[in-house]
Amino acid sequence: MLLAMAWRNLQRHGRRTFITAAAMGISVAFVMAMLAYVDGMYRKMADVMINQTTGQLQVAHPDFATQRTMYDTVPDAAARLKTVAALPGVRGASARLYGFALLGGAEQTAGAQLVGVLPEQELELVPMRDRMVSGAWLAPDQTDQIVLGEGLAETLEVAVGDQVVAVTQAADGSLGNALYQVVGVLTSGSVTLDRTGAWLRLKDLQTLLVLPDQAHEITLLSDSLDSRAGDPIVSALVKTVRAALPTDEKHPLSVRPWWVVSPATASMLATSDASAWLILVILFLVAGLGILNTMLMSVFERTKELGVMKALGTRPAKIVQLVLWESLLLSGLACLGGLVLGGVLDWMLVNWGLALTTSSGDRLSTGGVLFDPRIFGVVRADRIVVTVLTLLCVAVVAALWPAFRAARLRPVVAMRDE
């Protein structure tokens, strides 16, 4: 009976009910779209900062993360890589070797960070072919090839087909130098790597630095798609890899998840949930004020009616329930409309994306991550559930004051209201 009365009361002022429900529904749709867009941005940041930079799991010399010296390497890199790549739960694995060199083109020179990779295995971690601006990715069976970051290629004034010379200090103290042909130019998604990065085959860099069968890190990806620190799937894989790669004092190894390797990345990605709560606060304010206003107006307009109900024996608890049912029905209508509109907006963000550029037309960069010109949304079911539950909770809280006010009305005084 109370539910039927609550529905009837909402219909009595259909225009006000529609306006309030529409405003709340638009708020729900706006929150859903914003959360999908923000999650898309953070998914991109996680892809660049975890997959491309550290991997979800990293095997390295214990001192390499802090010292970054040439000599802190993983020996027998090929055998160790083969061992961990065959472990259950490993989605991709590759070995990387780093070095610094002076690169010279026909007219210009620049310092560069050399990254030695296994061309085919690297593609399991990073979709390099999709990031090529010109040319092609490294061929696994070709030597003396190099791929430059877009910014570095502009600095050196070289293009695909040109040659660059690399000069560096080798591990044995000699002066390493080699001539490479530029086969591709890419945009990595990292501002630093785009300006200074140069990729070549792992064996070519091992030869240049005189570090045979050595790598600075073995990076792995697990089956998990979670980008939050403490991911149990990654944590379990850490234990598995440690068991598969026993260490000794002569050849120490550390096996660490990405949030230990790069705490700054973990802190940055943790702000994703903070951003979600900030957006939900907007929903709290808009929805709460709308419901409070509507319920107060409803109570004021029906003061005499509520007085008659109390005079006929309706208990205060029933009055409170009646007002709360009206609030829940109103927010329910808003949720239905908001879910439909928000679903359409999310579909557009997932399939079409939204352009993201600076005022000058350049791509936006945040935290060292260079975003693509178009960001695609990521829809998470838990975000939608939290949004709907938040609105329903706000509906109950906002209606409590009008409900208790109605319950405290004195029948004699209320029935005299005009």
pLDDT digits (tens, 9 = 90+) for 323-381: 888 888 888 898 999 999 999 999 999 998 887 665 555 555 555 565 666 788 889 89
State whether 40 and 85 are in the same domain. Answer: no
User: How high is the pLDDT of residue 359?
Assistant: 54
Higher per-residue pLDDT: 272 or 408: 408
pLDDT the model gives residue 175: 92
Is pLDDT above 80 for 31?
yes
Whether 234 is in a domain gets the answer no
The pLDDT of residue 317: 82
Return the higher-pLDDT residue of 249 and 172: 172
Same domain, 44 and 83: no
Tell which wins on pLDDT, 315 or 95: 95
350 and 409 fall within a common domain: yes
Inform me whether the pLDDT recorded for 252 exceeds 60: yes
β-pairing, 197-201 vs 109-117, is parallel
Q: Which two tokens stand for residue 260?
A: 């230990």
Q: Tell whether 108 and 135 lie within a shared domain.
A: yes
Strand (E) or helix (H) holding 199: strand 197-201
pLDDT at 217: 94
Matching residue, tokens 């906002």: 398
Co-location of 349 and 385 in the same domain: yes
Please tell me the distance from the alpha carbon of residue 55 to that of residue 170, in angstroms, as a whole number. Answer: 27
The arithmetic mean of pLDDT across residues 231-243, rounded, is 91
| Mean pLDDT of the 146-151 span | 95
**Which among 290, 300, 298 is positioned nearest to 395, based on CA atoms?**
290
The whole-number pLDDT of residue 360 equals: 52
Residue with tokens 């409803």: 298
Q: Please state whether beta strands 197-201 and 145-149 pair in parallel, antiparallel, or not at all (unpaired).
A: antiparallel
352 inside domain: yes
Say if residue 414's pLDDT is above 60: no
Residues 280 and 307 in one domain: yes
Choose the final residue of a domain: 197, 223, 249.
Answer: 223
Do 213 and 291 have their domain in common? no
Both 17 and 119 in a single domain?
Answer: no
Q: 92 has which bridge partners?
A: 221
Domain range for residue 287?
Answer: 2-48+267-415
Does the residue 377 lie in any domain?
yes
Examine the domain organization and report whether 147 and 176 are in the same domain.
yes
pLDDT of residue 366: 59
Check whether 111 has a pLDDT greater than 90: yes
Asked, for residue 23, whether it belongs to a domain, the answer is yes
The answer to whether residue 97 is domain-embedded is: yes
Residue 80: what pLDDT? Answer: 93
* Helix/strand/coil (H/E/C) assignment for every residue in 145-196: EEEEEHHHHHHHCCCCCCEEEEEEECCCCCEEEEEEEEEEEECCCEHHHHHH
Q: How many domains does the chain have?
A: 2
Look over the chain and give the mean of its residue pLDDT values, rounded to a whole number: 84
- On whether both 73 and 213 belong to a single domain, the answer is yes
* Any domain includes 237: no
Residue ending a domain, choose from 171, 200, 223: 223
Among 196, 223, 250, which residue terminates a domain?
A: 223
Same-domain check for residues 31 and 117? no
Is residue 75 domain-shared with residue 98, that is, in the same domain? Answer: yes
pLDDT tens digit string along 269-324? 777 777 777 777 776 777 677 777 777 777 777 677 767 777 777 788 888 888 88
Residue closest to 131 by CA, chosen among 197, 81, 180, 179: 197
Q: Is the pTM of this model over 0.75?
A: no
Instruction: Please tell me the distance from the alpha carbon of residue 9 to that of residue 403, in angstroms, as a whole number.
Output: 14
